[in-house]
């Protein structure tokens, strides 16, 4: 008796160790369980949070570069973690792949169950139905079971008749909805995965008068799926003819953009407009307008009067009034020189804040610049931002404020001229082949959810007993699989269709 083991001990001692196949089956069951799918779905939602807080390369390279310039310490850390391209990062892809496997493994077995439920016939009628809810009993005449069967079919009930008893069932749209919903989940998952593997997306900044050709080397940032083929990129180019922008000047929402559109010439012949949320589409590739800003044109001459730099320079907007920063790097002179500049479209000098812009339009454009001389650091083989000037090995020569058309002759003899202001626009070029299928799947999923949650399965029984020549007793009862559905309403519709009224009632029961 002392060595006798408890039932729990006996069970534990007889469990065989898992072999490799058993362990893999256990892992598969855990991965394809509903709890795991929900957990992974939660992880995807949490992982997407940085993508909604931090600027993303796929949306606007300008904003990403601006954020990096303002936060150089965190920029390096966040960039290494892929937080500026969350949806293309390895960790987000890993979570999504696990979610895709989990959903497919979880849903596919359920599809068989829902399909069987959708096609199953009602069970055989019970021998007694007076114990069910909404039971009613009537004396009728000139009625037979075949007429009852016909009326029930006309009302959309699925019938199983055995002699003088009928089981009728309705609400199979619920199972159809569940089938459509779960199938749509697989469609969405596969469509998104297909799109991620075969899609490409790039961003580019184009100044007025300049052009863009749809080749990889033209993009400022380019991301493509694993199976994307470069030779399948559609061959097109466009020129940014001009950029039209209008800002609110009223009291309410002063400075808010009311209109901005890019007027382009596609393939040298077609004049088109690209608006916000209204891209152009060329052979499945869409070109979106994602941002805009100012590009002051600056000219620099050396002591001999030779032009050593002349171009419009993209300045990154810093606030809603388009206070913008930019740099000019001239490495071909010895020693090297650089310009740190701040452009203000409507400039004033605030006694507290200093030079600021009070409106985003070009009402009083000015540029505030500082000239630096020394080592730009571009010969060290380390990548640099074109929007930031590293002055750690440079000496400041002077400061100046210029309006369009004005020049500044520095102490070094360099003459810097602010010629004028142009505009630039930033575009996103994207090819996403699975997007329409995913949208279709999402629409079907919502439709399936509507029927799956809104339709209830219910069942009624009808029994007839002859009591005399031409007279019968009919019993009806019903049962709903959900407590929030009133089965009595369905019974009343059936009785009304059969022409049975309260005058015929001889008994009832309600639970």
Sheet holding 158-162, edge to edge: 158-162, 165-170, 458-468, 471-480, 135-141, 505-509
Q: Which of 412, 442, 472 is the last residue of a domain?
A: 442
Q: Which domain holds residue 58?
A: 22-115
- Asked, for residue 92, whether it belongs to a domain, the answer is yes
The whole-angstrom separation of Cα 350 and Cα 267 is 47
26-30, 57-61, 369-373, 435-439: which is most confident: 369-373
Provide CB contacts within 8 A for 99, sequence distance 6+.
37, 40, 41, 43, 44, 189
Check whether residue 31 and residue 93 sit in a common domain.
yes
Per-residue model confidence as pLDDT tens digits over 164-188:
899 999 888 888 888 888 888 888 8
10 within domain boundaries: no
Residue 374 pLDDT grade (very low, low, confident, very high; cuts 50, 70, 90): very high
Whether residue 326 sits in one domain with residue 368: yes
Using the predicted structure, report yes or no on whether residue 369 has a pLDDT greater than 50: yes
Closest among 283, 279, 49, 93 to 197, alpha carbons compared = 93
Q: How far apart are CA 45 and CA 99, in angstroms?
A: 12
pLDDT digits (tens, 9 = 90+) for 137-152: 888 887 888 888 999 9
User: Do both 409 and 317 map to the same domain?
Assistant: yes
pLDDT single digits (tens) 55-85: 887 666 767 877 887 888 888 888 888 888 8
pLDDT grade for 387, boundaries at 50, 70 and 90: confident
pLDDT at 53 over 60: yes
* Judgement on whether residues 432 and 288 belong to the same structural domain of the protein: yes
What is the pLDDT confidence band of residue 372, given thresholds at 50, 70 and 90? very high
Question: What pLDDT does 27 receive?
Answer: 85
* Domain annotation covers residue 5: no
pLDDT at 2: 52
pLDDT at residue 214 in the model: 93
Q: Which pLDDT belongs to residue 26? A: 84
User: 3-class SS at 130?
Assistant: coil
Residue 211 to residue 237: CA distance in whole angstroms: 7
pLDDT at site 232: 85
Phi, psi for 215 (deg, rounded to 5): -130, 155
304 shares its domain with 396: yes
**What per-residue confidence (pLDDT) applies to 82?**
86
Report the pLDDT value the prediction gives residue 62, as an integer from 0 to 100.
67
Q: Which two tokens stand for residue 159?
A: 């019938």
- The reply to whether 187 falls in a domain is no
- Shared-domain flag, residues 263 and 314: no
Average pLDDT for 483-510: 75
Lowest average pLDDT, out of 9-23, 370-384, 449-463, goes to: 9-23
Higher pLDDT among residues 466 and 342, named by residue: 342
Q: Do 409 and 438 sit in the same domain of this protein?
A: no
Banded model confidence at residue 225, pLDDT cuts 50, 70, 90 = confident
Higher local confidence (pLDDT), 13 or 459: 459
User: Looking at the predicted structure, is the pLDDT value of residue 425 above 60?
Assistant: yes
Rounded Cα distance, 221 and 123, in Å: 63
Using pLDDT thresholds of 50, 70 and 90, give the confidence band for residue 510: low
Average pLDDT rounded to a whole number, residues 484-491: 76
Confidence (pLDDT) at 240? 94
The span from the CA of 209 to the CA of 264, in Å, is 9
The reply to whether omega before 284 is within 30° of 0 (cis) is: no
Whether residue 191 is contained in a domain is answered as no
Confidence of residue 108 (pLDDT cuts 50, 70, 90): confident
pLDDT value at residue 211: 93
Domain boundary among the residues 80, 115, 150 is at: 115
| H helix or E strand, kind and range, residue 440 | helix 435-454
For the chain, the farthest-separated pair of C-alpha atoms sits apart, in whole angstroms, at 126
Q: What is the mean pLDDT of the chain?
A: 86
Give the least confident one: 103-107, 353-357, 362-366.
103-107
Whether residue 95 lies inside any domain: the answer is yes
Looking at the structure, tell me whether residues 305 and 403 fall in a common domain.
Answer: yes
Number of domains in the chain: 4
CATH number at residue 499: 3.30.310.80
What is the rounded CA–CA span in Å between residue 473 and residue 490? Answer: 20
Q: Are residues 233 and 277 both part of a single domain?
A: yes
Percent of the chain with pLDDT over 70: 92
Tens digit of pLDDT for each residue in 5-25? Answer: 555 555 555 666 777 888 888
Higher pLDDT: 244 or 506? It is 244
Whether residue 366 is found in the same domain as residue 311 = yes
Domain for residue 137, yes or no?
A: yes
Residue 485: the pLDDT is 63
Share of the chain above pLDDT 90, in %: 32
- Single residue among 70, 98, 115 that ends a domain in this structure: 115
Looking at per-residue pLDDT, the higher value among 2 and 434 belongs to 434
Q: How confident is the model at residue 511 (pLDDT cuts 50, 70, 90)?
A: very low
Q: How many CB atoms lie within 10 A of CB 494?
A: 19
Residues 261, 302 share a domain: no
pLDDT at 14: 61
Q: Which of 356-370, 387-401, 455-469 has the lowest mean pLDDT?
A: 455-469
What pLDDT is recorded for position 299?
A: 96
* Average pLDDT of the segment spanning 109-118: 80
Predicted confidence (pLDDT) at residue 160 exceeds the cutoff of 70 = yes
pLDDT at 395: 94
pLDDT higher than 70, residue 252: yes
């Amino acid at each position: 008796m002392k060595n006798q083991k408890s039932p729990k001990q006996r069970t534990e001692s007889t469990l065989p160790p898992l072999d490799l196949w058993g362990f893999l089956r256990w892992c598969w069951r855990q991965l394809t369980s509903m709890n795991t799918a929900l957990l992974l779905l939660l992880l995807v939602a949490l992982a997407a949070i940085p993508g909604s807080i931090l600027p993303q390369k796929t949306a606007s390279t300008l904003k990403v570069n601006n954020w990096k310039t303002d936060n150089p310490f965190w920029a390096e850390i966040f960039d290494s973690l892929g937080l500026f391209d969350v949806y293309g990062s390895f960790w987000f892809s890993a979570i999504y792949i696990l979610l895709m496997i989990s959903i497919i493994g979880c849903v596919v077995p359920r599809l068989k169950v829902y399909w069987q439920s959708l096609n199953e016939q009602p069970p055989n009628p019970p021998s007694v139905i007076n114990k069910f809810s909404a039971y009613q009993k009537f004396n009728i005449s000139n009625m037979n079971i075949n007429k009852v069967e016909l009326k029930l079919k006309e009302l959309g009930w699925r019938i199983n008749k055995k002699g003088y008893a009928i089981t009728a069932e309705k609400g199979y749209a619920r199972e159809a909805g569940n089938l459509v919903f779960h199938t749509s989940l697989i469609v969405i998952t596969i469509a998104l995965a297909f799109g991620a593997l075969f899609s490409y997306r790039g961003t580019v900044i184009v100044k007025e008068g300049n052009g863009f050709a749809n080749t990889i080397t033209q993009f400022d940032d380019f991301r493509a799926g694993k199976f994307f083929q470069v030779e399948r990129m559609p061959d097109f180019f466009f020129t940014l003819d001009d950029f039209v922008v209008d800002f609110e000047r009223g009291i309410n929402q002063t400075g808010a953009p009311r209109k901005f559109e890019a007027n382009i010439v596609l393939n040298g012949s077609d004049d088109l407009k690209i608006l916000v949320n209204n891209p152009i589409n060329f052979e499945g590739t869409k070109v979106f307008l994602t941002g805009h800003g100012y590009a002051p044109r600056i000219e620099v001459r050396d002591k001999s009067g030779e032009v050593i730099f002349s171009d419009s320079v993209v300045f990154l907007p810093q606030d809603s009034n388009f206070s913008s920063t930019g740099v000019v790097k001239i490495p071909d002179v010895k020693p090297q020189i650089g310009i740190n500049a701040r452009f203000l479209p409507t400039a004033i000098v605030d006694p507290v804040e200093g030079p600021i812009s009070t409106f985003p339009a070009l009402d009083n454009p000015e540029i505030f610049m500082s000239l630096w001389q020394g080592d730009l650091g571009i010969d060290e083989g380390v990548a640099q931002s074109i929007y930031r000037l590293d002055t750690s090995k440079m000496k400041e020569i002077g400061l100046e404020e210029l309006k369009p058309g004005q020049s500044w002759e520095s102490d070094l003899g360099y003459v810097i001229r602010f010629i004028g202001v142009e505009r630039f626009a930033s575009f996103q070029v994207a090819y996403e082949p699975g997007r329409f299928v995913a949208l279709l799947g999402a629409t079907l999923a919502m439709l399936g959810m509507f029927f799956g949650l809104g339709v209830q399965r219910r069942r009624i029984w009808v029994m007839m007993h002859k009591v005399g020549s031409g007279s019968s007793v009919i019993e009806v009862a019903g049962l709903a699989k959900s407590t929030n559905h009133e089965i009595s309403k369905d019974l009343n519709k059936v009785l009304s269709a059969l022409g049975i009224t309260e005058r015929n009632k001889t008994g009832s029961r309600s639970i």
